Structure 1
Amino acid sequence: MYNMLTGIRIGVSRCQAKAARPLTDADYTARHKFSFDIVGNELTPSVRYDFKFKDYAPWVFRELREYFYLDPSDYLMSLTSKYILSELGSPGKSGSFFYFSRDYRFIIKTIRHSEHKFLRSILKEYHEHVKRNPHTLLSRFYGLHRVKLPHGRKIHFVIMNNLFPPHRDIHETYDLKGSAIGRLYPEDKAAANPHAVLKDLNWVGRNRQFALGPEKKALFEEQLRRDTELLQRLGIMDYSLLTGIHNGVRGNSEGLREDKLSVFQPAKVKVSRKPTQVKRDADASALRKAVQQSDPQALGGKHELPEHDNSERRMFLFYQDEGGMRASGDSNEDLGAIYYLGIIDILTPYTCVKRLEHFFKGFQHNKHMISAVPPREYGDRFLAFIKSSIRGNDVSTRPQMFEHEPKHDQAHKAEVSEKEASASGPVPPAPPPQEAVIDPEKAQRGREEMQQRAGPSIVTSS
């Protein structure tokens, strides 16, 4: 982490110090390399190093940061301060690690090499889309970097916006894809975990809807359509609409933000900058040890999150209400909740691996209900599901799979519960049945039908 922050500070500062100029095609593929010692001195390539840092397309990301109204000084101050935040439970399902800037505005996310290459391949189209659509809902990329230790693996990472605010608790979180298979988070676990990321079937089962009011509804649907069309055109799938809901009645009384964060802060070691002697310097050795042994501590005390949103997000349509969008009725009246949402995980192309996944999972389930479907179908399904989740829209436009899948999951949960109960011990006796009221004529007809189906081998007596 220390190496990442040092590289960001040097790389961004170098680019920002130069006079602005128009972008060229070469800027989209540019790579700038740096070598550093542990103190942060830049070294010549032939000298032994503590870590190497590579900055990708710095001029492109500089312009993207300008489109997003990021002040260079604030950006560097947020990312390269003396401590950084980590979300408890990292890494995620993808194996990526998430770190937050000290003010919770930015995310440092490690990514796979394949994702790194893919982002570079679509960077020009992404840049043009942001330029034409300043209010885009897509993840906002602020920098793409790589760090390498001696004899160590290369770590690729990206700097992104944090959708969730530093000054508001998020009471419900949903990851919405528009698919049904495997898209249910167990409700009993959700009740015990306020940080659980719920899924599509939870959203449907809880009858959640976006209440946006007529004007915001129209603008939101149009921007969603434009962003989805770009992802379809680039052959991307597996993205989702990350949605956080702040309940105005509950407010921040539960302290949910601080509960899930820890602080990375190396011990303070005084060093002298001696580039030619740093490898032999005892001070440098002490600093290396302090960095390696830095232990995450729970957030608290002097490491407090901001209580107000003073960020650039207020410049954008869907983030201007306390960093999000207020829930509103048909007359734009305030309904007491705030939505924080955006399209995430946009670096997964429909590759051969995804085609195979679609092929094999299509044998086990309805091939239109799984996540791995071709980009055109994925985008159409995603757009239809999100639009059907907006209050005032026709729910019948929702993909048909959601009309049946919840019943299947309920039956599955009942079957699992029955197995668990039988494994844990004897089942308590059922209560005695209530006395039934029998219609004599229906009973007689039933006996006659049974006798006819049984045939002459059964003899009945009257």
Structure 2
Amino acid sequence: MLSPMLAWHVLSLAMAIVVLGCTVAFFLRTRKARAHPGPVLVCLILSSCLNMMFRACTHLVTPDAPSFVGIDFHHETESNSTLVLYWGTLYFASATTFWYLMLAMDLISSLSNPFLPFQSNSLIHHTLAWPLAGVWCLLYDVAVYQQPKAVPEIHLRMVTHLPLYGSLVYIMFALHAAGAKSRQLTTTIHATTRRMSKLIVPYLVVFGASGIAHLGIYVADVSNGKPLVYSSYVDQLVGIVSTTVLFVLFYFDSGGCRRRGLPPQDAQQPTILSPLDDIDEAGPHTQPLPQDPPFPRMQSTANFNVDIAAELRKMVMDLTRMGIVSVAARDASDHPTSANRVPEDFATVERKRITFWGGTAATVADALVFEDVAPSVFQSLRQLAGIDQSSYLHAFNAEENLREVCSEGKSGNIFYFTANRQFMVKSVPKEEFDTLRAILPQYYKYLVQNESSYLCRYFGCHSITLPVGTRRMYFVVMQNLFIHGPPQQRYDLKGNTDRRQAIPTAQVEGKMHAAIMREPIDKLMMDIDFTRIHQCILLADADATTVKLQLKNDIQFLAEHRIMDYSILVGVRYTANACFHRVDMAVPSKDGMTMYDIGVIDMLQRYNWRWTLQRWFLGGFLCKDMGDVSAVPPAQYGNRLIRFVRQSMFNQARRESRSSLFTNSTQRSGLTVSEDHPGGSTPATDIWFVSNLSDEMIDIHDCVLLQETS
């Protein structure tokens, strides 16, 4: 018969295995559980369960050890297997603490600045949880483990929990400060952050309760003068209970039962933002704004992926839209239209103060400022592209809804298209915003001299402060490449093959057949797909020469300014009637039955130490060809892409390799079939194709005051 203590450790081990298995099952089977913060919670429960398992195994291997910390105190006499289990326990105990910290940081970030998506910065700090646990174990090894009996056994338990109490202190102060910032607004913003808090705080309460319980055990040991007989088991029980409670909360939130949250009637109070005057340097000037209905009530979130920024993004985009309209509506005399620009034009930053308030309190955010960078320069760029002031203003008319797409990518950026799909408003990191400002004089000069350039057309560069927090959001206005209609195929080409495949090998044959039959392929394809499907761009000789030369010049321009990681976006549109003339950036095929939309996109990344580190990591640790990865210096990146344009992109000789079975279809569509089988597989991020999106148009109802500031 098992002894009671042995049975206890077996039960603890079994509980950990069951909880871990159920958690993984819910995560894999339930879509809500995979939405953020589900992955964080899974990592949290995973760490906690592994901590329980290692600890139970430690006690099973050393049944005579008086306590867990006693193994450290007498580690000179312990076996290697026992010490491995001991260090595994310590590592996963600290990892559990740091995953609690990651969850808290998500909430703190959102409360500090709820205008940003909930997971906008998660990729950075979440990657630190496991390494931080390793760093703590290393510090513990140097400061405690390698100093035999330097810390009395009675205090060892508290030393092992130092990350826990340090995290708790930080979380309490940070949440208090973040909550104070959140309460600055009594509109839908504060109600939204409260609902997010109701989702996350219960997990943090479990964290705090376990910390209090561990502290109580320590106080009892100190009062006794030595570790109590049952201290280790009570400490173990605290871990079991907290892990079980975590699992129960996760089960409810992942759809096992009805989700916690506010009832719909308590969700939000409506907010009305009042129209005010636009004051410029010449004096007051009233700009009429549409009499929009009140800001709509926010619907309660019914799934696990609580989007703290859903309604707030609407407000931010309307503030940005109103700012764009305000600066674009200025008299043409304020911004001379001459192509000759002086250096001061590129350095000009016009600021407008934005004031808005909720309908329930006199909370006024006077610090909001909309900034317009180099307005006269971008006005000239719009005129250079044939966009007059009236059409630009109409695209951003308040009566025309903006369409949000891919609103929460990994970067947390926001993407909006105007209703006529002519322009795209995209939030960008400050680094890319600064890059555009830095190259703007050369970019402007280049476009004036190369009106047929395929470089992405930027028509505005703006930033806006936010009602809470201290951050700014940065936006650029760009031309939509696919304004003339949805392409049947899209290719994102960088000239290399590492991780440049979107179509799984098993689906290649079907996609080839679809392309030959001129059927649409929804997925954005990349270089390997281009090679396998052989979507050769067949142009008339004169057109091919012109396009290749212009692309070469564009790429050289970017390389000269240390820009890399850009790509050539190609849209393939089949036409019912033959067309042999260019339409904007669209080039007709040789037979006139296909139009190719071509543009260079994502051209604001400069080569820096992070790209160097990524390159050496891919080459040194993953044994990849360092000349084939995307993270290469700008000159090498540009030369590689130019070589691809010259040798592959317009290579009509590939037609000789096509199958005779599809000869007639191939001649019509410009497709060829190849036996090439390059490797690599990575899904692509599609943010440019919006024609088939089914997102509902977003209604935004705000009115704002835009005033010039010094």
Same-fold call, TM > 0.5?
yes
Aligned to 2:435: 118
Is structure 2 residue 34 aligned with structure 1 residue 34?
no
Aligned to 1:217: 544
Deviation sequence 1:317-342 (CA, Å, 0-9, x none): 8534xx622211xxxx32x2111110
Q: How do 1:37-436 and structure 2 match up within 5 A?
A: 37-38=355-356, 48-49=365-366, 51-92=368-409, 94-152=411-469, 153-166=471-484, 168-187=485-504, 194-248=521-575, 319-320=583-584, 324-328=586-590, 333-334=591-592, 336-363=593-620, 364-392=623-651, 406-409=677-680
Q: Secondary structure at the match of 1:197?
A: coil
Q: Which moved more, 1:222-231 or 1:385-394?
A: 385-394
- 1:198 shift after superposition: 1.0
> What amino acid does structure 2 have at the position aligned with 1:34?
K
Deviation sequence 1:272-315 (CA, Å, 0-9, x none): xxxxxxxxxxxxxxxxxxxxxxxxxxxxxxxxxxxxxxxxxx9x
Is structure 2 residue 321 aligned with structure 1 residue 5?
yes
Aligned to 1:439: none
8 Å contact kept, 1:236–1:348: yes
- 1:408 shift after superposition: 3.5
Aligned to 1:293: none
Deviation sequence 1:431-453 (CA, Å, 0-9, x none): xxxxxxxxxxxxxxxxxxxxxxx
Q: Distance in 2 between matches of 1:390 and 1:240?
A: 13
Deviation sequence 1:7-47 (CA, Å, 0-9, x none): 001112226352626522111111111012349xxxxxxx8
Q: Secondary structure at the match of 1:54?
A: strand
- 1:376 shift after superposition: 0.8
> What amino acid does structure 1 have at the position aligned with 2:375?
P
Q: Secondary structure at the match of 2:330?
A: helix
8 Å contact kept, 1:84–1:99: no
8 Å contact kept, 2:461–2:477: yes
8 Å contact kept, 1:327–1:338: yes
Aligned to 1:442: none
8 Å contact kept, 1:355–1:372: yes
> What amino acid does structure 1 have at the position aligned with 2:396?
L
8 Å contact kept, 2:417–2:424: yes
Deviation sequence 1:356-397 (CA, Å, 0-9, x none): 1111212220111101111111111111112223444567xx
Q: Secondary structure at the match of 2:377?
A: helix
8 Å contact kept, 1:210–1:389: no
Provide TM-score, normalisation by structure 1: 0.65
Deviation sequence 1:206-239 (CA, Å, 0-9, x none): 1110011111111101101110110110011100
Q: Distance in 1 between matches of 2:481 and 2:370?
A: 27
8 Å contact kept, 1:101–1:107: yes
8 Å contact kept, 1:110–1:155: yes
8 Å contact kept, 1:81–1:102: no
Q: Distance in 1 between matches of 2:331 and 2:607?
A: 34
User: Structure 1 pair 408/48, CA: closer, same or farther in 2 (3 Å)?
Assistant: closer
Which of 1 and 2 has greater Rg?
Answer: 2
Question: Which structure's residues are more often strand, by fraction?
Answer: 1
User: Structure 1 pair 189/87, CA: closer, same or farther in 2 (3 Å)?
Assistant: farther
Aligned to 2:221: none
Q: Distance in 2 between matches of 1:181 and 1:63?
A: 39
Deviation sequence 1:66-93 (CA, Å, 0-9, x none): 2111101101111234233435433445
> What amino acid does structure 2 have at the position aligned with 1:327?
S
- 1:131 shift after superposition: 0.8
8 Å contact kept, 2:532–2:676: no
Q: Distance in 2 between matches of 1:116 and 1:235?
A: 15
List alignment gaps of at least 5 residues for structure 2: 1-316, 358-363, 512-519, 655-673, 683-710
Q: Distance in 2 between matches of 1:135 and 1:406?
A: 35
8 Å contact kept, 2:568–2:601: yes
Q: Secondary structure at the match of 2:334?
A: coil
Provide TM-score, normalisation by structure 2: 0.43
Q: Distance in 2 between matches of 1:351 and 1:64?
A: 29
Question: Which structure's residues are more often helix, by fraction?
Answer: 2
> What amino acid does structure 1 have at the position aligned with 2:594?
A
- 1:354 shift after superposition: 0.7
Q: Which moved more, 1:353-362 or 1:189-198?
A: 189-198
- 1:96 shift after superposition: 2.5
Q: Secondary structure at the match of 2:598?
A: strand
Deviation sequence 1:216-275 (CA, Å, 0-9, x none): 111101101110110110011100001111123699xxxxxxxxxxxxxxxxxxxxxxxx
Q: Distance in 1 between matches of 2:399 and 2:603?
A: 31
RMSD: 3.0
Q: Distance in 2 between matches of 1:375 and 1:15?
A: 41
User: Structure 1 pair 212/81, CA: closer, same or farther in 2 (3 Å)?
Assistant: farther
> What amino acid does structure 1 have at the position aligned with 2:612?
R
Q: Distance in 2 between matches of 1:147 and 1:214?
A: 48
List alignment gaps of at least 5 residues for structure 1: 40-46, 252-313, 396-402, 413-462
Q: Distance in 1 between matches of 2:634 and 2:346?
A: 25
8 Å contact kept, 1:8–1:80: no
Aligned to 1:14: 330
User: Structure 1 pair 357/394, CA: closer, same or farther in 2 (3 Å)?
Assistant: farther
> What amino acid does structure 2 have at the position aligned with 1:245?
V
User: How many residues end up aligned between the 2 structures?
Assistant: 326
Aligned to 1:265: none
More relative contact order in 1 or in 2 (CA 8 Å, sep 6+)? 1
Identity of aligned residues (%): 27
Q: Distance in 2 between matches of 1:15 and 1:366?
A: 55
Q: Secondary structure at the match of 1:14?
A: coil
- 1:186 shift after superposition: 3.0
Q: Distance in 2 between matches of 1:102 and 1:90?
A: 16
8 Å contact kept, 2:536–2:652: no
Q: Distance in 1 between matches of 2:575 and 2:412?
A: 34
Q: Secondary structure at the match of 2:481?
A: coil
Deviation sequence 1:109-128 (CA, Å, 0-9, x none): 11000000111011111011
Aligned to 1:419: none
Q: Secondary structure at the match of 2:589?
A: strand
Aligned to 1:398: none
> What amino acid does structure 1 have at the position aligned with 2:583?
Y
> What amino acid does structure 2 have at the position aligned with 1:131?
V
